[in-house]
């Protein structure tokens, strides 16, 4: 599969508080992605939509987006796998095209929790609500605590992830939070669910983002200007809720990354730039460990001294990630991964040849990995 498929176009809306419904945001992002690819919408026969986190129970959501786009694709629908769904849907689109079931696919995600309801992020978790068990953040806080206890992970490691994202995001004119962060400010950041500080937590944002996927052959045929080859892709999930997991300190990035690296024929050392899903700082740290950029428990040595900032060993989240650009879960990271290979990123890693993107969902329930490159 290596290099047989490309991301032919990318598009996104503004991020922040937009006051628009999610179907409209999806349609706007898709329109821009098609425009970027230079492809007429009449050619699209696959529409793969991630379920909006704010409205997980909406029936036939994918069909509503399809209708708004005036499409009648052979393949279409909505998929719920939390934040891992974006790259998973790219994977599904590739498989559909590979088997001749689809020719050109749009993959899209939009949500509006900032102007709509944030209830999904604060909701009670099952029958544990009487114990006060609420929110997405609390699950990550459980993992964060355990990682610190098992590996002695210092606060400056968590701060390094936030500071890199905020440094890069500060120069991104589209970013929702354009304010650099220093160590003192990080340490002064208030607890939300201890040990998570406010600056460990991603933004809450409205926005939409979409990509166009087709075969490399089709892209040549259509004379697509800036196709970016997909070198590797993979996914994995535990599915188990936190209390049912034997370990809290490893993620599905282990399996999802191994699959993507195997397909690409590459190793972590080959990666020039990475977009590492950073819904919370602990997520980025554990993903770096589990991809094999460093040994388990030694992530502080990897992220210290600006090594994950531009100019460092592995610049991550070069558009600001979820902590600075937009809190929407994941597709914006794919788009930034594409820009790095095109050489059009705002914070561009010079001569980037291999660009890695991670997506993950739930409380580390699901994971997906994308490796792009020329």
Residues that bind other proteins (CB under 8 A): 122, 124-135, 138, 141-143, 145-146, 149, 190-196, 242-244, 248
Smallest separation, CB 151 to other proteins (Å):
12
Half-sphere exposure at residue 39, Cβ-oriented, CA atoms within 13 angstroms: 33
Tokens of 248: 């809290």
Q: Are 277 and 322 in contact (CB under 8 A)?
A: yes
Smaller CB distance to other proteins: residue 122 or 313?
122
* CA 240 centroid distance within chain: 21
Would you call 304 helix, strand, or coil by DSSP? helix
Smaller CB distance to other proteins: residue 274 or 279?
279
Smaller CB distance to other proteins: residue 71 or 363?
363
Smallest separation, CB 116 to other proteins (Å):
17
Half-sphere exposure at residue 270, Cβ-oriented, CA atoms within 13 angstroms: 16
Smallest separation, CB 363 to other proteins (Å):
12
Smallest separation, CB 139 to other proteins (Å):
9
Give the contacts of 106 (CB within 8 A, at least 6 positions apart): 30, 33, 34, 44, 46, 47, 48, 69, 210, 211, 212, 213
How many other β-carbons are positioned within 10 Å of the β-carbon of residue 222? Answer: 17
Smaller CB distance to other proteins: residue 101 or 117?
117
Q: Are 278 and 202 in contact (CB under 8 A)?
A: yes
Smaller CB distance to other proteins: residue 215 or 283?
283
Q: Of all helices (H) and strands (E), which one includes residue 234?
A: strand 228-237
Smallest separation, CB 149 to other proteins (Å):
4
Smallest separation, CB 330 to other proteins (Å):
23
Smaller CB distance to other proteins: residue 182 or 239?
239
What are the backbone angles phi and psi of residue 93, rounded to the nearest 5°? -65, -45
């Amino acid at each position: 599969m290596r290099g047989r498929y490309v991301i032919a176009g990318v598009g996104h809306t503004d991020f922040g508080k937009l006051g628009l419904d999610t179907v409209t945001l999806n349609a706007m992002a898709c329109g821009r992605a098609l425009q970027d690819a230079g492809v007429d919408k009449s050619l699209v026969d696959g529409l793969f939509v991630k379920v909006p986190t704010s409205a997980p129970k909406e029936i036939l959501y994918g069909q509503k987006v399809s209708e708004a786009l005036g499409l009648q694709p052979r393949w279409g629908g909505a998929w719920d796998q939390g934040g891992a769904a974006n790259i998973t849907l790219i994977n599904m689109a590739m498989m559909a095209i590979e088997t001749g079931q689809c020719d050109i696919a749009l993959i899209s995600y939009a949500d509006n929790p900032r102007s709509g309801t944030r209830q999904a992020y604060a909701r009670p978790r099952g029958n544990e609500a009487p114990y006060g068990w609420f929110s997405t953040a609390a699950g990550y806080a459980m993992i964060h605590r355990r990682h610190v206890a098992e590996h002695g992970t210092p606060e400056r490691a968590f701060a390094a992830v936030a500071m890199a994202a905020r440094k890069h995001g500060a120069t991104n004119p589209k970013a929702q939070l354009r304010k650099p962060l220093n160590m003192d400010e990080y340490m002064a950041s208030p607890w939300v669910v201890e040990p998570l500080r406010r600056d460990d937590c991603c933004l809450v944002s409205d926005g939409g983002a979409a990509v166009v996927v087709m075969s490399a052959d089709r892209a040549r045929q259509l004379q697509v200007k800036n196709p970016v080859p997909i070198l590797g892709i993979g996914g994995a999930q535990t599915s188990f809720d936190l209390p049912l997991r034997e370990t809290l300190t490893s993620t599905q990035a282990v399996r999802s990354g191994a699959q993507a690296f195997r397909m690409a024929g590459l190793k972590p050392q080959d990666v020039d730039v990475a977009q590492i899903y950073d819904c919370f700082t602990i997520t980025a740290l554990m993903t770096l460990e589990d991809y094999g950029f460093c040994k388990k428990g030694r992530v502080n040595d990897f992220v210290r001294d600006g090594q994950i900032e531009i100019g460092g060993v592995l610049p991550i989240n070069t558009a600001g990630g979820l902590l600075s650009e937009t809190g929407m879960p994941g597709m914006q990271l794919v788009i930034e991964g594409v820009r790095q290979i095109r050489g059009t990123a705002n914070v561009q890693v010079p001569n980037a040849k291999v660009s890695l993107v991670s997506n993950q969902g739930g409380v580390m329930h699901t994971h997906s990995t994308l490796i792009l490159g020329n």
